Structure 1
């Protein structure tokens, strides 16, 4: 009896020591699978040892469970006490259970709607909220600029470790690696490179127009077609690959991508869940299938002759100069997957939202058409960049959902004029940062804007648009999903030939 009590006391003491001298220091999310393996191994060894002593498997298991309970009980008690009483964040407002465990946050976003949950917390608690045991969320433009601005000393959080062991431009947490990769990617998005890409952007936009013309007067989920358009362009620009989604409407890469990345929307607050489940056979099979496809695609890419001017080629050539490509494989594959993940979704979302607003507010559609009709050549991209109302529409689309009333007058209303004739409706210019800023500003910003401007210009001049029967556009917002990127809900529209012939 004394021996049993001593063992339980030792287990509890070990739990306290584990927290105070290990778990309370540093980051441990990426090691969740290793910690779990150690725990399982320890439980097995204790069971075997007790079985050897007791000569009874059932008693050995019970004893092992008792010791595990003592250890975990002390560990979690110490954790809860520290998080609620001793943490330097205890004075900050926030939900009680969010201060105790990130599982509380996960439980509130099982529908992958973190944006909605965080907006609710903002209205309930204000600008500074403790959203986790070791996490503070800041909502002010000043905080955003300090974190991402040129003088920032901040690094990315543990969330960005979820792609490890692969390393990409966006997910690396090491500034020197990011700086080096950024220089490589910048070459693929230089002014010269974009000028060379302009005919291809128009070509793909023309194909989008062609495909939609085959579907006149029938309901079309337009967001899906924008996804085909942007995904096809991403493949061409990123790694010289033709997905041909506009022609076929199907590709295994898109299917696996859509199946693999939704999990990120749920485990974002607690990356350790991702690392833990990824180590379980078939735990993240959707993502693993996508990664295997990407690896095969990359090996095919390496067989191409050098000299291709896609973005990934700059990464590959840099790797070849450093030694065998396999030596830099995790970096190359990481950038390959990143381009697929982040290279098309933002543009798809902006195009879908912009079209929704133009249908809902036809007076703005008329103004845009008037501007476009005045162009000498709609296929001269430079001319699109200087259209006042056309670009104000795009900027206002990028601004919305949701925004702060202390930064924008009538913040929830669609008022493009705030970016043209009514600048007084912008109370804080720093609050408009759709592409981020500083060294982490979106490297593909200018290409993304080219895709958006070209596609939107051709579509509004070629077709008339209206909501499909039973559609009011709200499902696009209500069904929006928050993954690594944001995916709008469906928007069903009916397309008709314009009653007035477009100006070519």
Structure 2
């Protein structure tokens, strides 16, 4: 055994070792300049890691087998080469990113220019990227370098140029995080997106929305019955709006309510969703790590558990057939007409996941913020009632019809104002600039730069809105001068990738707001000032809010 380890004992040739180390370091530099800075490699993380991990024992064995060097000496020499290679690779990266990178002139945190790991590390404790972006923009200006090739841009002109229909920007590598799962939101292929959107258009047609509202109304009524049963006691409004939104999503999206409003059995589902989103969101700055993390058994459990939940919902829905009028029914109909290849099934799974996420938590969070403002500003409730009660009386219905919706300008203003201040996706949608680059507000951004527009930061910017941090719904109809740049509002996204479920989400919110305010007064619970609610929100790509204690009391009609 000792002979195998030591084998031939050769005199130490320090000159040869130095030369070999220099060559290994040079190889690291060449790898960086010739490969890693060219094109996208985020989906090759496992292949690259496997290659390097396999190369080390192969080099060690080759020295032992063909050069007669002992295993220990061979391993030590391989380790020297590996260390030199890594030093060369990362030295090249550091010098390039710090001195020669096209984004070198943009200001931002010093360490962020060298690695996206810095940005990711800053999110570990609080997961509050929306707040971090606001702090960085206040410190560094409208254009902030948040990573080696990443910029956050907080100027209103950027919305159309980066996200609009005519934009040449494309979705960033982060959208590949769920591969092989793919959906309408995550696909980076514009043609594939256009084809898939046609399937969703059937599910969100005007006729379908009318039918959906008829099915939403009983859920709104059930919500009110459950709140009435509390008899004016404080309730965790955050949870109850989640129960409503998830039941609506189950009914309209999956064809079967979760019955969270009247049963406790499935109330664990919202936490499962958020755990899955948290695992993905924290890796947004470092998309190359996602394929690796997802294969590690001791991390990423939330994402895996949520993925299995999605599979279970698809299988349950398949057993009932595709004829029912719900979103997944339309997706299943499209799947049945396809060749049913694995790629088709991944689309089905992916779009089911999108339906669950987009149709539940974002609506619930938006409702929670809206009722926070209504509880804080009672005059807004009086204005809303003065507006919608005559409209209900004129229509003879218990919810606003399309004609009534068009006249409910203050109701729509309340919703838009809350979304402006608290967009469901607060840190925006990452995009990559075209090869020729992009000019925004007289500032040239080089090509192949990942750009994001921090929507929450922009929504509270005085450059976009007068008295930007105040809740003033009238700015959306009677005081338009308070909106300095209409293009800055992008709570539902803009352009070809805007939210397909926007209309349905608005239907749900209007329906419940009218139902609740028709029957209840709303106020902050004793001891609740909203501070923790407003400041404790977490950014998991979609925002997660903490408990908000509200009191709903039956109206005393005179």
Is this a same-fold pair by TM over 0.5? yes
Report whether the alignment pairs 1:400 with 2:426: no
Report whether the alignment pairs 1:36 with 2:49: yes
Distance 1:44 1:221 in 2: 57
Q: Decide which of 70, 76, 79 is 1:62's aligned counterpart.
A: 76
Deviations 1:373-411 (A, max 9, x none): 323133243324422222211111111154210211100
How big is the shift at 1:354? Answer: 0.9
Distance 2:245 2:102 in 1: 45
How big is the shift at 1:79? Answer: 0.7
Distance 1:254 1:241 in 2: 16
Inter-CA distance 57–470: structure 2 relative to 1 (3 Å threshold): farther
How big is the shift at 1:479? Answer: 1.0
Inter-CA distance 324–427: structure 2 relative to 1 (3 Å threshold): closer
Deviations 1:399-428 (A, max 9, x none): 115421021110001111111322221111
Residue 128 of structure 1 aligns with which residue?
Answer: 143
Deviations 1:171-218 (A, max 9, x none): 000001111111111110110100111111111111111111222332
Distance 2:145 2:401 in 1: 46
Report whether the alignment pairs 1:305 with 2:325: no
| Mapped contact 1:381–1:454 kept (Cα < 8 A) | no
Q: How does 1:207-226 map to 2 (within 5 A)?
A: 207-226=222-241
Unaligned runs of 5+ in 2: 1-12, 423-456
Unaligned runs of 5+ in 1: none
Tell which deviates more after alignment, 373-382 or 75-84. 373-382
Report whether the alignment pairs 1:387 with 2:408: yes
Tell which deviates more after alignment, 471-480 or 396-405. 396-405
Q: How does 1:57-136 map to 2 (within 5 A)?
A: 58-110=72-124, 111-136=126-151
Residue 493 of structure 2 aligns with which residue?
Answer: 436
| Mapped contact 2:177–2:280 kept (Cα < 8 A) | no
TM-score, normalization: structure 2? Answer: 0.86
Deviations 1:33-74 (A, max 9, x none): 222222222223234445656775554443333222111100
| Mapped contact 1:435–1:441 kept (Cα < 8 A) | yes
| Mapped contact 1:316–1:325 kept (Cα < 8 A) | no
Which of the two has greater helix per residue?
A: 1
Q: Say which SS state the counterpart of residue 499 (structure 1) adopts.
A: coil
Distance 1:313 1:4 in 2: 67
Residue 322 of structure 1 aligns with which residue?
Answer: 338
Distance 2:343 2:105 in 1: 48
How big is the shift at 1:22? Answer: 0.7
Inter-CA distance 40–390: structure 2 relative to 1 (3 Å threshold): same
Q: Say which SS state the counterpart of residue 177 (structure 2) adopts.
A: helix
Q: Say which SS state the counterpart of residue 465 (structure 1) adopts.
A: strand
Deviations 1:279-305 (A, max 9, x none): 222321221122122113212222223
Report whether the alignment pairs 1:153 with 2:174: no
Q: Say which SS state the counterpart of residue 171 (structure 1) adopts.
A: coil
Deviations 1:462-488 (A, max 9, x none): 112222222101111111111121112
| Mapped contact 2:270–2:361 kept (Cα < 8 A) | no
TM-score, normalization: structure 1? Answer: 0.94
Distance 1:325 1:82 in 2: 44
| Mapped contact 1:232–1:242 kept (Cα < 8 A) | yes
| Mapped contact 1:479–1:490 kept (Cα < 8 A) | no
